[in-house]
Chains A and B, each alone.
Chain A
């Protein structure tokens, strides 16, 4: 499989049978995804969740595909660049309003589960 998952979600790291780039923060997930897109990887899933807000939900998993032809030809998908840059801006905006807090473990597990199920819903359709 040429798919990779960029994630900071420990549940995804231990549950997914795909190549995983594990990040320590949401920012790192976003910037690593952007860098992969610039390297010619194809953005498969949207970097924002459906309605669980970024930052408030500390986890995000994004699927990319390694396309050797694009990588060799250094083809850049401008639409994907626009999507990830807009998502990064939204994350920055939500950070401004967010006061860091330690979530109870059960809440963290729920957030991990939601991120995992949204990822899975994407993986099921590819």
Chain B
């Protein structure tokens, strides 16, 4: 499967009469966009605002961030099984509007979280502050169940991203990257002397506000399976998450998975990147055992020598992470884990809720309990009142002067476990 990913670089976004891209400026007709995404009768009101890098704007509570993309050539459509049909994606050509994010916000649950500050110290903690964000605030009837509100908001985001992405269809990209995923016999034969490396991609799948969809299928119901990295770039995996802002994978992160990107970067030189195994993080221990056993089976069938395992979320997924690690290591398959930590505000507590001595190569994306004080912003898109009840917030988080003191777990992407964040460790 070969995918050409054309990147159209966008420096600025503004409202105008029609949707178009000129000299790196994306213009969006606000009324038309609202019309395009408002067809669901459960929507009571919907508004669209812009938030640009450096603006004194706080977006809270963020549900999802999505990059606008469009299929230019090849089968299927972006977000297959969700908006597109059931065609397999990941080949042909896709265009992406780089530098743009569609951000969805709405009061789905009263403790919902997720802050994007577009300037100030908070902006340093979220990768999404550097995007020109098109923020969709979607409200529904108060009586609508939380699960329905989540679905409405999720679909509004995908529709908006797809509609905006269409503007890139006829454009000449600023850059084109080519990614290829060959049939396994061919891939093995190509680099017979290199170690065969795979990627175990764990998806949050425990229930309402904790779900991920693969080709539209609720991933808690799948057995682990193989997916081409190029399918992921075409939106085969989308987020239905609303919790754990710092370490949930937004749809934007799935589309731009940095582990996949880095594995491609040294493919054919340092190792042979064989492919991706997606697996879930379910509630029952039996499901965890079954899925981790199946991950090991697939890794052995592929003849992998080593894997990177990325986690999503915190708590019971720690058990999945450790099961995957221990069982793969038992089979002689080396593992590197990527996760984040809840080590207490002093950083002294046990980082994960599970552990094994076999996890001897672990990359951390940061300590989510670290606190930060965010200054007040001139404009808040969404509902600032959530600051007191969001994860990482506490009584009095929202101070009288509009500042917020929170743990960084309240900030979208602050400790993203795929490494899609800004935190790093330096030795002095």
List chain A positions with a Cβ less than 8 A from chain B: 43-54, 56-57, 63, 80, 82-83, 86-87, 89-90, 93-94, 96-101, 103-104, 106-107, 109-111, 113-114, 117-122, 125-126
Contact = CB atoms under 8 A, between A and B. Distances in A.
A16 B241 CA distance: 25
Given A46-B316, A87-B353, 20 more contacts: A44-B285, A45-B284, A46-B288, A46-B319, A51-B206, A51-B243, A51-B313, A53-B391, A53-B409, A86-B350, A97-B407, A99-B394, A107-B389, A110-B110, A110-B111, A111-B111, A114-B207, A118-B207, A118-B208, A121-B282
A12 to B, nearest CB: 13
A118 B210 contact: yes
B132 interface: no
B5 to A, nearest CB: 30
B104 to A, nearest CB: 18
Given A46-B319, A83-B319, A93-B349, A126 B206 contact: no
Nearest to B348: A93
A64 to B, nearest CB: 11
Contacts of A99: 394-396
B391 A52 contact: yes
A122 B111 contact: no
Contacts of A47: 316
10 closest A-B pairs (Cβ-Cβ)? A51-B244, A50-B206, A122-B283, A46-B316, A107-B110, A48-B315, A121-B207, A117-B208, A110-B109, A101-B395
Nearest to B344: A93
A46 B354 CA distance: 11
A48 B353 contact: yes
Q: Using C-beta atoms within 8 Å of the partner chain, give the interface range for chain B.
A: 35 or more
Given A83-B354, A107-B111, A120-B207, A50 B344 contact: no
Interface centre among B206, B283, B354 (most CB of A within 10 A): B283
Q: Is the interface of B mostly helix, strand, loop or mixed?
A: loop
A47 B349 CA distance: 19
B353 A90 contact: yes
B189 interface: no
A73 to B, nearest CB: 20
29 contacts: A45-B283, A46-B283, A46-B284, A46-B315, A48-B316, A48-B353, A49-B316, A50-B313, A51-B210, A52-B391, A53-B342, A83-B285, A87-B353, A90-B353, A93-B350, A94-B342, A97-B345, A99-B394, A101-B395, A103-B110, A107-B109, A110-B109, A110-B146, A113-B109, A117-B147, A118-B283, A121-B220, A125-B284, A125-B287
B281 A50 contact: yes
Interface string B375-410: 000000000000011010011100000000001010
Q: Which of B208, B285, B369 has the most CB of A within 10 A?
A: B285
A52 B102 CA distance: 25
B209 interface: yes
Contacts of B318: 48
Contacts of A57: 111
B243 A52 contact: yes
Interface in B227-260: 241, 243-244, 247-248
B286 interface: yes
A83 B208 CA distance: 23
Interface string B204-217: 10111110000000
B389 to A, nearest CB: 6
Nearest to B349: A93
B317 interface: yes
